Amino acid sequence: MRGHPGHWAFLVHRVSGVLLALFLPGHFVALGAALEGEVAMDAFLAWTQQPLVKVAEWGIVLLLGAHLTGGLRILALEFLPWRDWHKTLAALAAGVSLAVGLVFALALQV
C-alpha cells in the first residue's frame, strides 16, 4: 500500500542498497590506488579533499545508516511477534540513520 510507512521503509532500504552497490566500483578504485603505491594513493587522497567528495562521503554514511537500520527493522519484523508499533520502528530506523549521518557530517572538515 503506497504511502504507508512500511512502504517508505521498504523503498529507502532498497534504494540505499542499490546506491551502495553502485558505490562499490569507486571503492575498488581507491583500493587499487593503494596497491599501486604511495604516489597513486597520495594523489587519490588529495582528490578526496574536494568539497563535493566530502558531501558524497556524508551521503554514503547516510546510505549505510539507512540500510543498516532498515535491515534491523526487517530482522525485527521476521523474528519478533507482529505488533502495531512496527510503524514506530520504521520511524525510529529513519531517525537513527539520519542521526548517524548528521554526526558524521558534523565531524567532517570541509
Domains of the chain: 5-107 (1.20.1300.10)
Which cell is 59 given? 551521503
90 vs 82: CA distance, rounded Å? 13
* pLDDT for residue 6: 76
Q: Can you tell me the mean pLDDT for 66-91? A: 80
Q: Can you tell me the mean pLDDT for 55-64? A: 89
* pLDDT for residue 21: 93
Angle (CA) 22 20 37, round 5°: 70
Rg of the chain over all Cα atoms, to the nearest angstrom: 17
Global pTM reads: 0.67
